[in-house]
Structure 1
């Protein structure tokens, strides 16, 4: 598949490259941003290695996460990233994730990205089902997902190791 490039009203969803390193590291190194994520705080070196490794990935390989940058069209700055992974056993099922910089939250960007990615997956890639696994304490993400039509299908008790307190925490598939 060619490189992903989605234009929304205010954003561009595209591959991340090394020119994004400073913006990417800014939010990926913030503990408040990583609190509910499946990744930990990144050093600048880790962020650079992540971008380099991700540059070899393209949508369509079962079981592999591919990260895409979210660029503010007006400022050309990276304000977050989103990820897509096709299920290892059934490529008609995709899992998605999103991270928005702490400097850019509560502006509707996450919803704009999610709706565009869902449109791509359902309308152009003929994906049958999209899931998102969310920490049960991440109320903002749960509310976002519900507002765009996701439904909560379960509540996993103590199934994710918490970085914060070294204990298991709960999550839910939406």
Structure 2
């Protein structure tokens, strides 16, 4: 779809490519077990974080089947407060999956909702994606409540479908269609 860097601006935030200048902010939350508790990744060392950012610098939005991670920057401070990921479905690029991670220092401020709405506006209004999916850990109540608050539908409950961090976990699948997004306007 594009080989240009993704850039989305919301009232308080900028969603953009990660750079090595983000490393010090990035590692603060990516090395925190509470932040990674419900994520599909584990805590990172500084070396792993640097490699992750470097690897992502060669990725651009639009390659089907490939997750691309983006930084979430606070417009007022210029600091990285989290990151988000977008993946177009490998078999049908009209379907996207997303994920969001907010630093433990910046949670409970409405940033996750602002990022989610910004990504949805980009995907549905600009790219004309048909469907957006979010897979969430069944114990991640904050994320479940966020998705429900903007009218994502729960479509599935996968029981002990993933073995991660030494135990079996369950997940919910939530989704929204472009027509549902349009009806909200």
Shorter-normalised TM-score: what interval? over 0.9
**So what's the TM-score if we normalise by structure 1?**
0.98
TM superposition shift of 1:162? 3.0
Q: 2:32 aligns with which of 17, 30, 37?
A: 30
Partner of 2:154: 152
Partner of 1:59: 61
**So what's the TM-score if we normalise by structure 2?**
0.92
SS at match of 1:25: helix
SS at match of 2:152: coil
- The 5-angstrom pairing of residues 7-156 of structure 1 reads 7-156=9-158
Q: CA RMSD in A?
A: 0.6
- d(CA) in 1 for partners of 2:8, 2:99: 16
- d(CA) in 2 for partners of 1:102, 1:8: 21
Partner of 2:177: none
- d(CA) in 1 for partners of 2:78, 2:167: 39
Q: Deviations over 1:99-133 (max 9, x none)?
A: 00000000000000000100000011110000000
- d(CA) in 2 for partners of 1:148, 1:97: 15
TM superposition shift of 1:156? 0.1
- d(CA) in 1 for partners of 2:143, 2:81: 17
Paired residues, what number? 172
- d(CA) in 1 for partners of 2:102, 2:87: 18
Gaps of 5+ in 1: none
- d(CA) in 2 for partners of 1:4, 1:149: 25
Partner of 2:8: 6
Could you list the structure 1 runs, at least 4 aligned residues long, displaced by more than 6 angstroms after superposition.
Answer: none
- d(CA) in 1 for partners of 2:73, 2:116: 14
Is it true that 1:161 corresponds to 2:182 in the alignment?
Answer: no
- d(CA) in 1 for partners of 2:12, 2:167: 39
Q: Deviations over 1:49-88 (max 9, x none)?
A: 0000000000110110001100001110000000000001
- d(CA) in 1 for partners of 2:16, 2:167: 35
